[in-house]
């Protein structure tokens, strides 16, 4: 069958690079506010009822949001197998910590309200906090490492050896990225609490969201400066690249280059839109959190998430995962994808199911529309989380 | 067991998968039972059915979250612990996992929120649709996971690409409609249905013994026994289909399940009980049932089933061909590097023998140079392709014995429920209710045994005949894997204890009996009237 040749291999690689962005942004824009709310839980809720207001603002929908994370894993596996293989085994212990933290989340949501005693509920509140804060931090740290380059090598058979260590993951820049990630998601969670809850929880949500938005602005600017100044080095492909090449990372040459991550902005000036949206969105959310324009604030916060994550993507393009010790082995859009046929099949599946997913998710949000506050918690005492 | 990376990674995968599969079968089966009960509620408008959905739904929820939580690990640990496997087969294996998320898990996870929180926000029919969406999502999840797993057992629709050093899809259609995957899917979801049915029957029987919640218990048994009986039959029939497929594609698995060392004249006999001796390569004791094995595996009286020793001899031949392919691959790559074109003869060597390339990898633990193995090394590699027989032989028999028992148990309850005699068991059949309660753990044992036979029986392959398990592992340190293994064991076990405690708490608490007038007495009608009343 030659159906897959309807679309060029190189075009499919580009489409899947965009879809990778859609997945990561989809995850951060939906499950991101769940994590923000979880991180804020100890701060916005002092009494049990206040905490339940925060928890139930996401209680019925966080589960669907989390699928973006799982789908992210599956789609990277399917469309970018070397990326899946190298990043998850390279960041082995960090991945374990993320999983262990995220495993606590579903259980905490469900089990917290099953018993009334305060120590039981307190324990699960901690689980929710850890299950939200830790992944938010580690994802940011991982992105920081990807920008700086990851110490892996590939042999002839494409067998990977990781030369770094767990503690080596924490560099000043990667920690900055980790904090930016936390700040961004807390801002997003704050905007959500402002939109979806009422009473004191909403007030506190806006207050902490504001602090987080300021932090995000500062950290994003600082991160940008470190990349611009060449403190964080970039990478550049030095050999001739055929975008239709077979997916073997060793078929090209690449080098480390001082301001490599800035090069795209002179080649493709329109890419400046990404960081611009990052700043504008965050700024908009910051202003909005002081007003009662809740929908608009939440939308701005989403735009901020979109802009900040896209900035990483377009700065690095076509790199996906640079190798700091064997730059030639770096994974790029052109040499780390699945086969022509698989990319095509997966695109067909995505074109059918993603619109469906978005449609029924929107419907579910509409059904569950309405603010959660202490009155609704009292009313639904038996069924609410 | 030695503390090497391969064994530890296998142990971790087995542990996390078996834990995950403590929760999944119940989710698969209970979701359908909930949707069925709610359908009856919507059709009849009787509140008792709604209370049933809410009660079993509470237990469903307690179980469901742990399935989700432990499922997270499954999606990522291929990359974490099986990095070379992921690189080598991601092109084929990743797609079903991704589609599972897109098509099934999104559906299930989005609507499960409405199932719990939508009672007052949706119309009856809308809520019913949400419940069915959860059930469909759960079952479709199983379909895609088993398509992925089926491909590991029987890697169709793909071939090795020397340029990218990996397996690539040649026909997605063949991967989807892999007969092994289809048989496995129906077998596995049916097992989930049986698990949920015995769970419901057992708990309802306990209520009958205690004289509590009679109305709900009786109806629950009626639905669960009908569903369970049909499913138990399906499990066994599709299990038989799996056995037939195994004879076509995984002869070694079949031979070890059977502890069949020598090829017997057709039709082969079935070893009911045996004491396999791996050292002597023979059984020191066996009770045989004539003809049965030949009939199950070949569905004929004349076709032979190869024994373990014959299969090992065949493996030796395939290893030698694999070595030719490996040598040719090296020459092709050297020529590519030098920018030369390789000899047509070398390319032919590769094309003819490439399907046995994986057999050359079997030599890796034994030979330093894959291109020049000695006869002893080939011998050792070929024998390494025989899984340990004891656990295979007995795990399989425990599973099958459970399977037949489930048919009997659900069949008896189905018969009693159809003739309106379940409630009478409280007075003149308490022993049967006790058996139902005590049988609750059995489906879990059967499910775990089934996974064990399927996965352990595929060893030493991670992809049958293509990639040995030891070649698929990540380059990690023993300390790292020990840390995560210990972490998972502690975390999962803690959560399991909490889960069981909560389950027991809510089972003891029991369903809400409502305020409807009770109609426990003078019941004579069958199933249809149970639904209609």
User: Tokens 């559906």 label which residue?
Assistant: B107
> What gap in Å lies between CA A213 and CA A269, rounded to an integer?
27
Contacts of B331 (CB under 8 A, 6+ apart): B342, B343, B346
In which band, very low, low, confident or very high, does the pLDDT at B532 lie, cut at 50, 70 and 90? very low
* B70, B90, B103: residue with CB nearest A81: B90
- Closest listed residue to residue B117, CA positions, set A110, A131, A51: A110
Helix axes A62-79, B83-99, angle to 10 degrees: 130
Angle at B265 between CA B263 and CA B266, to 5 degrees: 110
d(CA A52, CA A125): 10
- Neighboring chain A residues of B165 at a CB cutoff of 8 Å: 156-158, 248
Residue from B172, B480, B486 whose CB has the most chain A CBs within 10 Å, to mutate: B172
Q: How far apart are CA B92 and CA A81, in angstroms?
A: 10
Structure tokens at A294: 């809740």
Mean pLDDT of chain A: 94
Q: What's the CA gap between B426 and B207, in Å, rounded?
A: 10
DSSP string, B92-124: HHHHHHHHIIIIIIHHHHHHHHHHHH-TTTS-H
Residue A203 touches partner B, C-beta closer than 8 Å: no
> pLDDT value at position A124?
96
The domain ranges of chain B are 5-252+387-514+525-532
B160-191 exposure pattern, b = at least 16 Cβ within 10 A, e = fewer: bbbebbbbbbbebeebbebbbbbbbbbbbbbb
Give B118's contacts in chain A (Cβ within 8 Å). 60, 367-368
- Please answer yes or no on whether A86 and B491 come within 8 Å at the CB atom: no
Residues from chain B that touch A102, judged by Cβ atoms under 8 A, are: 69, 72
pLDDT of residue A1: 54
- Decide if A328 touches B, using CB distance below 8 A: no
pLDDT in tens, B396-437: 999 999 999 999 999 999 999 999 888 888 888 899 999 999
Torsion sign, CA atoms B42, B43, B48, B49: negative
Find chain A residues with C-beta within 8 A of B91's C-beta: 78, 81, 338-339, 342
Question: How far A123 CA lies from chain B's nearest CA (Å)?
Answer: 13
Residue pLDDT, tens place only, A60-82: 999 999 999 999 999 999 999 99
* Cβ–Cβ contact A102 with B under 8 A: yes
Which of A65, A99, A358, A371 is the best substitution to test chain B (most B C-beta atoms within 10 A)? A99
Task: Give Cα separations from B241 to A113, B21, B259, B367, B395 (angstroms).
Answer: 45, 22, 20, 38, 18
Q: Say whether pLDDT at B531 is over 50.
A: no
Residues 6+ apart with CB under 8 A from B515: none
Total residue length of chain B: 533
In 3D space, the residue among A234, A233, A219, A229 whose CA is nearest the CA of residue A279 turns out to be A219
Each residue of A302-317: pLDDT tens digit?
A: 999 999 999 999 999 9
CA distances from B500 to A280, B25, B194, B530 (A): 50, 16, 20, 31
Looking at residues A318-322, what average pLDDT do you find? Answer: 95
Q: Do B166 and A158 touch (CB under 8 A)?
A: yes
Between residues B322 and B284, the one the model is more confident about: B322
Q: CB–CB of A31/A66 below 8 Å?
A: yes
DSSP class of residue A150 equals B
Quick one: closest CA in A to B122, which residue? A367
- Smallest Cβ distance to A67: which of B89, B109, B164? B109
Interchain contact, B76 vs A367, CB within 8 Å: no
B-chain residue closest to A341, CA distance = B169
- Integer CA distances (angstroms), A226 to A142, A172, A176, B320, B359, in order: 17, 11, 10, 56, 51
What pLDDT, on a 0 to 100 scale, did the predictor assign at position B529? 45
C-alpha to C-alpha distances, A220 to A217, A276, A281, A312, nearest whole angstrom: 5, 11, 12, 11
Query: Does B411 reach chain A within 8 Å, measured CB to CB?
Result: no
What is the model's pLDDT at position B515? 65
Higher pLDDT, B306 or A104: A104
Å from B319 to nearest chain A CA? Answer: 19
pLDDT score of B520 more than 50: no
Question: What 3-state DSSP class applies to B276?
Answer: strand
Residues 499-518 of B with CB under 8 A from A: 502, 505-506
Nearest CA-CA distance, residue B196 and chain A, Å: 20
The residue extents of the domains of chain A are 11-231+337-379
How many Cβ atoms are within 10 Å of B440's Cβ, its own excluded? 17
- Cβ atoms within 10 A of the Cβ of B312, count? 20
Q: Give the pLDDT confidence of B246-271 residue by residue, as tens digits.
A: 777 788 888 888 888 888 777 788 88
B62 touches chain A (CB under 8 A): yes
- The pair phi, psi for residue B260, each rounded to 5°, is -105, 95
- How many CB atoms are located within 10 Å of the residue B525 CB? 12
Q: Calculate mean pLDDT across residues B456-473.
A: 92
The reply to whether B364 touches chain A by the CB within 8 Å rule is no
Higher pLDDT, A51 or B2: A51
pLDDT category, B345, cuts 50, 70, 90? confident
What angle separates helix B430-438 from helix B179-210, to the nearest 10 degrees?
130
Nearest in space to B27 (alpha carbons), one of B196, B186, B267: B196
Taking the C-alpha atoms of residue B52 and residue B222, their distance in angstroms, rounded to an integer, is: 12
| Residue B239: C-alpha distances to residues A335, B180, B439, B453, B511 (Å) | 42, 11, 21, 12, 36
Tokens 């340029």 belong to which residue? B163
Is there a contact between B87 and A383 if contact means CB atoms under 8 Å apart?
no
Residue B326 and residue B367 in contact, taking contact as beta carbons nearer than 8 Å: no
Within 8 A of B94 by CB-CB distance, chain A residues are 74-79, 81, 84, 338, 342
User: How far is Cα B80 from Cα B276, in angstroms, rounded to an integer?
Assistant: 36
Contacting residues for B352 by C-beta, under 8 A, at least 6 apart:
none
Does residue B242 carry a pLDDT above 80?
no
Q: Does the distance separating the beta carbons of B91 and A339 come in below 8 Å? A: yes
d(CA B289, CA B496): 41
B240 has pLDDT over 80: no
Residues 63-102 in B contacting A (C-alpha not used; CB under 8 Å): 64-66, 68-73, 75-76, 78-81, 83-84, 86-87, 89-95, 97-102
A379 in contact with B, Cβ within 8 Å: no
Put simply, the answer to whether B76 touches A89 (Cβ < 8 Å) is no
- Put simply, the answer to whether B170 touches A341 (Cβ < 8 Å) is yes
Given A71, A78, A360, which is nearest B110 (Cβ)? A360
Residues 286-325 of chain A with CB under 8 A from chain B are none
Closest residue to B113, CB basis, from A1, A60, A96: A60
Mean pLDDT of B371-389: 88
Minimal C-alpha gap between A228 and chain B (Å): 33
Smallest Cβ distance to B95: which of A87, A111, A346?
A346
Minimum CA–CA partner of A65 in chain B:
B110
pLDDT tens-digit series, residues B28-52: 999 999 999 999 999 999 999 999 9
Specify whether the CB–CB gap between A85 and B111 falls below 8 A. no
Q: What pLDDT, on a 0 to 100 scale, did the predictor assign at position B2?
A: 60
What's the rounded Cα separation, in Å, for the pair A328 and A42?
46
pLDDT of residue A311: 96
Rg (C-alpha) for chain B, rounded Å, is 26
Q: From the list B68, B100, B114, which residue is nearest A367 (CB)?
A: B114
Contact A57, A196 (CB under 8 A): yes
B476 with A60: Cβ contact below 8 A: no
Does B111 contact A at CB distance below 8 Å? yes
What Å distances lie between residue B405 and B188, B271, B446, CA to CA?
Answer: 17, 20, 11
What is the DSSP secondary structure assignment for residue B181, as one 8-state letter?
Answer: H
Nearest CA in chain B to A67: B106
pLDDT 10s digits, B99-137:
999 999 999 999 999 999 999 999 999 999 999 999 999
Mean pLDDT of chain B: 89
Of B61, B106, B121, the CB nearest to A67: B106
A–B: how many Cβ contacts below 8 A? Answer: 248
């Amino acid at each position: 069958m030659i159906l897959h040749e309807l679309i060029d291999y190189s075009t499919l690689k580009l489409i899947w690079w965009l879809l990778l962005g859609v997945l990561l942004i989809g995850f951060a824009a939906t499950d991101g506010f769940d994590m923000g709310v979880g991180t804020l839980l100890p701060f916005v809720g002092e009494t049990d009822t206040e905490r339940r207001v925060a928890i139930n603002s996401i209680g019925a929908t966080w589960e669907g949001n989390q699928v973006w994370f799982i789908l992210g894993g599956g789609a990277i596996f399917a469309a970018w197998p070397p990326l899946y293989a190298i990043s998850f085994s390279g960041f082995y212990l960090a991945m374990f910590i993320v999983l262990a933290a995220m495993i606590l989340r579903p259980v905490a949501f469900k089990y917290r309200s099953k018993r009334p005693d305060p120590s039981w509920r307190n324990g699960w509140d901690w689980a929710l906090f850890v299950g939200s804060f830790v992944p938010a931090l580690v994802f940011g740290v991982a992105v920081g490492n990807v920008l700086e380059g990851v110490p892996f090598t590939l042999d002839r058979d494409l067998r990977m050896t990781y030369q770094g260590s767990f503690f080596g993951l924490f560099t000043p820049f990667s920690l900055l990225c980790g904090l930016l990630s936390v700040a961004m998601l807390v801002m997003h969670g704050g905007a959500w609490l402002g939109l979806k809850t009422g009473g004191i929880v909403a007030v506190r949500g806006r207050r902490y969201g504001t602090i987080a938005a300021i932090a995000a602005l500062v950290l994003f600017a600082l991160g940008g400066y470190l990349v611009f100044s060449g403190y964080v080095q970039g990478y550049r492909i030095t050999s001739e690249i055929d975008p239709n090449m077979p997916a073997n990372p060793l078929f090209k040459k690449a080098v480390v280059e001082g301001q490599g991550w800035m090069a795209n902005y002179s080649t493709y000036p329109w890419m400046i839109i990404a960081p611009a949206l990052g700043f504008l969105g965050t700024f908009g959310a910051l202003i909005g959190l002081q007003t009662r324009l809740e929908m608009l604030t939440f939308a701005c916060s989403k735009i901020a998430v979109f802009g900040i994550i896209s900035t990483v993507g377009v700065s690095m393009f076509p790199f996906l995962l640079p190798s700091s010790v064997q730059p030639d082995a770096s994974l790029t859009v052109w040499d780390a994808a699945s086969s022509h046929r698989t990319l095509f099949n997966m695109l067909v599946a995505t074109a059918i199911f993603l619109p469906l997913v978005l449609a029924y998710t929107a419907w579910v949000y509409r059904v569950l529309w309405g603010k959660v506050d202490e009155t609704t918690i009292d009313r639904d005492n038996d069924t609410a989380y | 067991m030695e503390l090497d990376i391969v064994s530890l990674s296998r142990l971790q995968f087995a542990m996390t998968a078996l834990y995950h599969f403590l929760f999944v079968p119940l989710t698969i089966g209970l979701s359908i039972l909930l949707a069925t009960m709610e359908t009856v509620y919507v059709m009849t408008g009787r509140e008792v059915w709604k209370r049933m959905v809410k009660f079993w739904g509470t237990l469903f929820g307690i179980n469901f979250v742990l399935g989700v939580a432990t499922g997270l690990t499954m999606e990522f640990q291929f990359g974490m612990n099986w990095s070379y496997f992921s690189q080598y087969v991601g092109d084929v294996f990743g797609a079903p996992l991704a589609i599972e998320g897109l098509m099934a898990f999104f559906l299930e996870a989005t609507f499960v929120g409405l199932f719990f929180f939508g009672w007052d926000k949706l119309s009856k029919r809308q809520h019913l649709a949400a419940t069915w969406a959860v059930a469909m999502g759960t079952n479709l999840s199983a379909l895609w996971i088993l398509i992925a797993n089926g491909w590991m057992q029987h890697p169709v629709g793909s071939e090795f690409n020397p340029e990218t050093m990996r397996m690539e899809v040649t026909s997605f259609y063949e991967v989807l409609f892999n007969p092994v995957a289809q048989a496995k899917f129906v077998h596995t979801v049916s097992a989930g249905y049986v698990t949920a049915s015995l769970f419901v029957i057992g708990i309802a029987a306990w209520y009958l013994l205690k004289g509590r919640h009679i109305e709900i218990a009786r109806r629950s048994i009626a639905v669960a026994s009908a569903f369970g009986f049909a499913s138990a039959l399906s499990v066994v029939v599709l299990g038989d289909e799996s056995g037939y497929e195994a004879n076509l594609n995984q002869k070694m698995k079949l031979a070890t399940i059977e502890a069949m060392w020598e090829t017997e004249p057709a039709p082969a006999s079935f070893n009911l009980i045996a004491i396999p001796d791996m050292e002597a390569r023979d059984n020191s004791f066996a009770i045989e049932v004539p003809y049965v094995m030949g009939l199950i595996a070949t569905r004929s009286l004349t076709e032979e089933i190869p024994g373990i020793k014959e299969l090992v001899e065949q493996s030796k031949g395939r290893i030698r061909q694999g070595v030719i392919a490996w040598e040719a691959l090296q020459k092709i790559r050297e020529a590519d590097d030098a920018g030369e074109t390789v000899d047509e003869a070398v390319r032919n060597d590769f094309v003819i023998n490439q399907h046995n390339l994986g057999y050359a990898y079997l030599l890796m633990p034994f030979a330093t140079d894959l291109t020049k193995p000695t006869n002893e090394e080939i011998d050792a590699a070929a024998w390494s392709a025989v899984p340990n027989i004891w656990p295979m032989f007995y795990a399989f028999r425990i599973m099958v014995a459970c399977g037949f028992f489930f048919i009997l148990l659900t069949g008896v309850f189905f018969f009693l429920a159809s003739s309106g005699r379940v409630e009478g068991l409280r007075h003149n059949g308490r022993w049967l209710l006790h058996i139902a309660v005590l049988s609750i753990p059995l489906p879990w044992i059967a499910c775990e045994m089934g996974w064990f036979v399927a996965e352990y029986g595929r060893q030493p392959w991670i992809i049958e005949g293509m990639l040995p398990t030891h070649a698929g592992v990540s380059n990690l340190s023993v300390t790292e894997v020990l840390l995560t293994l210990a972490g998972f064991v502690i975390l999962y076990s803690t959560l399991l204890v909490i889960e069981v405690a909560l389950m027991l708490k809510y089972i003891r608490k029991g369903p809400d009996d409502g305020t409807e007038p009770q109609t426990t007495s003078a019941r004579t009608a069958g199933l249809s009237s149970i639904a209609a009343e």
